[in-house]
């Protein structure tokens, strides 16, 4: 009898410990480790990429390190380090749900479908889908891709929209942007679709930028948000506080100018309406 009671008590303690682990919030996890683990990209300039000095850099990484980490450090009253792991459209949600990363900080579009699996921060960048082609290509936009071989990234919103709107297009999906661009460079496909800003970055970093053109009107709206596990409102609040502080103080726009200004990695002027949209997301203290 005593043996059965002891075994039952041990089982209860084990289950309680497991439940406590499951219930651990992201802030508790970061407080315990002193590390914020982000999922980001290695080949999406200027948002996140590995530069010629083998440094992992980019606009979204700067936002994390200069805006979100200070908010976390203030809240937890301790210095917080950032650890980076590579993520891609097909892997970023599994990375979050498995607790491998705490935050996705790259070029992830906030969609209603994705909100069923993860939560998002406020929008920190807005763009739309276009096409990268060789100069002189007959492809001028989504209206001219019927029957054409079009590269896209696996799990991207661009691929889904093309399937829905132009089912006759021959969509070829790749695991990441470098693989898709290589297929385009080798003439395996006739165009590569992605968000316009990413295509501008790819063109700017290509060996011969003048050989390429970004074409077409936006055929989608792509509001980028930072993704995190669902139902973790305290952590989401801290991420939003960091972004709002950066926008209201002007720090966001300094970081933007560094990466997208006239002398930035990928010149991409901030439209007045986009700036106003960003500012309107900042709620009063």
pLDDT tens digits for the chain (285 residues)? 445 554 444 444 444 444 444 568 999 999 999 999 999 999 888 999 999 999 999 999 999 999 999 999 999 999 999 999 999 988 999 999 999 999 999 999 999 999 999 999 999 999 999 999 999 999 999 999 999 999 999 988 899 999 999 999 999 999 988 999 999 999 999 999 999 988 998 898 899 999 999 999 999 999 999 999 999 999 999 999 999 999 999 999 999 999 999 899 888 888 888 999 999 999 998
In 10 A of CB 73, how many CB atoms? 16
Tokens of 29: 């996890």
Closest residue by Cα to residue 128 from 209, 215, 57: 215
CA angle 201, 272, 39 (to 5 degrees): 40
Residue whose entry in the numeric block shows the structure tokens 């973790």: 232
Pairing relationship of beta strands 191-195 and 149-153 according to DSSP bridges: parallel
Residues 6+ apart with CB under 8 A from 215: 130, 131, 132, 133, 137, 139, 140, 141
85: left (phi > 0), else alpha (psi -120 to 50), else beta?
beta
Residue whose entry in the numeric block shows the structure tokens 């200069």: 66
Output the 3-class SS for 161-203. HHHHHCCCCEEEEECCHHHHHHHHHCCCCCEEEEEHHHHHHHH
Record the pTM: 0.78
């Amino acid at each position: 009898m005593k043996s059965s009671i002891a075994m039952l008590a041990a089982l209860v303690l084990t289950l309680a410990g497991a439940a406590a682990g499951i219930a651990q919030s992201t802030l508790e996890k970061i407080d315990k480790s002193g590390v914020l683990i982000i999922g980001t990209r290695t080949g999406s300039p200027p948002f996140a990429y590995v530069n010629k000095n083998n440094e992992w850099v980019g606009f979204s990484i700067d936002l994390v390190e200069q805006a979100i980490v200070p908010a976390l450090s203030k809240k937890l009253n301790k210095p917080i380090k950032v650890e980076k792991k590579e993520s891609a459209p097909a892997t970023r949600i599994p990375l979050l749900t498995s607790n491998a990363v705490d935050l996705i900080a790259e070029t992830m579009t906030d969609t209603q479908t994705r909100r069923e699996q993860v939560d998002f921060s406020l929008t920190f960048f807005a763009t739309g889908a276009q096409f990268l082609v060789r100069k002189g290509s007959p492809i001028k936009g989504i209206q001219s891709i019927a029957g054409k071989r079009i590269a896209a990234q696996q799990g991207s919103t661009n691929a889904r929209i093309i399937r829905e709107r132009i089912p006759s297009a021959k969509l070829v999906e790749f695991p990441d942007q470098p693989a898709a661009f290589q297929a385009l460079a080798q003439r395996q496909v006739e165009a590569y679709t992605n968000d316009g800003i990413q295509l501008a970055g790819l063109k700017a970093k290509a060996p011969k930028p003048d050989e390429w053109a970004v074409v077409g009107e936006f055929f989608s709206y792509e509001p980028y948000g930072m993704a995190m596990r669902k139902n973790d409102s305290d952590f989401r609040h801290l991420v939003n506080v960091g972004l709002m502080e950066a926008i209201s103080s002007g720090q966001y726009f300094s970081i933007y100018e560094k990466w997208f200004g006239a002398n930035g990695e990928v010149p991409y002027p901030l439209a007045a309406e986009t700036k106003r949209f960003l500012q309107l997301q900042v709620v009063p203290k």
